Amino acid sequence: MTPSFTNELSFAKQMDKEDPLAKFKQSFYFPQHNGEDVIYFCGNSLGLQPKAVRDAIEVELNSWKELAIGGYMKGTNPWLYYQQYLNKPLSQIMGCLEEEVTVMNALTVNLHLFLLSFYKPQGKRNKIIMEAGAFPSDQYAIETIVKHHGLSPDQTIIEIAPQQGDKILHTKDIISTIKKTGDELSLVLLGGINYYTGQLFDIKNITTATHEVGAIAGFDLAHVAGNVPMQLHEWKVDFAVWCSYKYLNGGPGAVGGAFVHQIHANNIDTPRLGGWWGNEESTRFKMEKGFVPKPTAAGWNLSTAQVFNTVCLKASLEMFDTASIQAIRTKSILLTNYLEFLLNDITHLNFEIITPTNSEERGAQLCLYFNERGKEVHQKMHEAGIVVDYREPGVIRVAPAPLYCSFEDVHRFYMIMKNLKA
């Protein structure tokens, strides 16, 4: 049951008192401003450092120190299987089988690898649909894969833009474009949540529509992973990739994540680039010619597990396992709705919330669009101890991550914003 929000501090304190996830706030380090924690609403760019990370790194440093090469087979967490330690918690977060998920490389590297596997233009079936104004890495990846196949980006890539006067895309327009493209469509690639507007796309129905015309459905879930629970297996998404340094708190440059549906993962003939770590484990150390991939998402692994680039994520995922992604989402909806309620009380700064109002169409991020002076307002927020980010043109992104942000944080943010001079 949704509570009746008020703008009184006492309400925020009572919500925190009743919050079953409130204890996790003490499990993170916060940057300081004038001797107190900043208001950190920037988990959509980089999550905070879990306090457990230092000890987790020390464990692996000790294994390296005391065992050297022996750390691959011995020690607290034998490195030979390090990627596998993350499969269970990630499968729960992404709604898939453990065999359908893996960690490796970084997001854009993984996007390129899966585009090479799943974008197979044949004759007139060569079109790719993506959202206009997608994150630059996605734009670059699609542009270059199209050129890799000797095709023209201008003639091959279909970018769906909002209707006149809108800031967001409507699901019906996305599906209409998919149906209209029909047997010319090879691949749909969308960001699960648009980085600029904060819109959460209807992944289930977009995937269904894509499959109905015989195409592949892939998603960049950078702003989804650890933010909104997924059901990737049930929805029959073909592949998805994400980073781990945002809501998953894996640290700067943390190892990327990837999902491949069982239909493709179990089929060792699904095309891919091969590497030693993706080879069938039972024959890996025979050192023979001939790549035989593991019949799982790990069949796309190329190289040895990046232990020191994965350990922070492993430590963070232990908290997700304890809290549960469902409870995180429940709090996130309340927290973001409360933020929206308070922001609607601020009229002197002349901004518009362009993120959908429906909580089913957004995650933890609200995007404030300023026709003018957005950068100036952002600078004033920074000077007041608020950490948020700015994206051209004119958007300040505000994202209270529910694992470490409180209702009182939101109220503090509101009071500062209310007193900012226009």
Q: Distance between CA 254 and CA 18 in Å, rounded? A: 33
Radius of gyration of the chain (CA): 22
**356: preceding bond cis by omega (within 30 degrees):** no
For residues 362 and 336, the answer to whether their CB atoms sit within 8 Å is: yes
E strand map for 114-168: 127-131, 157-160
Tokens 């920037």 correspond to what residue? 42
Domains of the chain plus CATH, in order, are 9-44+324-419 (3.90.1150.10), 58-320 (3.40.640.10)
Torsion 6-377-412-404 (CA) sign:
positive
List CB contacts of 154: < 8 A, sequence separation 6 or more: none
Nearest CA to 387 out of 378, 375, 376 is that of 378
For residues 220 and 242, the answer to whether their CB atoms sit within 8 Å is: yes
Q: Distance between CA 243 and CA 92 in Å, rounded? A: 16
For residues 135 and 392, the answer to whether their CB atoms sit within 8 Å is: no
Angstrom distances, CA of residue 158 to CA of 12, 104, 250: 45, 29, 33
pTM for the complete prediction? 0.96
Angstrom distances, CA of residue 399 to CA of 124, 191, 279, 390: 42, 17, 40, 12
For residues 47 and 328, the answer to whether their CB atoms sit within 8 Å is: no
The pLDDT score that the predictor gives to residue 1 is 62
At 397, is the secondary structure helix, strand, or coil?
Answer: strand
Q: Give, for all 422 residues of the chain, the pLDDT tens digit.
A: 678 999 999 999 999 999 999 999 999 999 999 999 999 999 999 999 999 999 999 999 999 999 999 999 999 999 999 999 999 999 999 999 999 999 999 999 999 999 999 999 999 999 999 999 999 999 999 999 999 999 999 999 999 999 998 999 999 999 999 999 999 999 999 999 999 999 999 999 999 999 999 999 999 999 999 999 999 999 999 999 999 999 999 999 999 999 999 999 999 999 999 999 999 988 888 898 999 999 999 999 999 999 999 999 999 999 999 999 999 999 999 999 999 999 999 999 999 999 999 999 999 999 999 999 999 999 999 999 999 999 999 999 999 999 999 999 999 999 999 999 86
Tokens 């933010």 correspond to what residue? 227
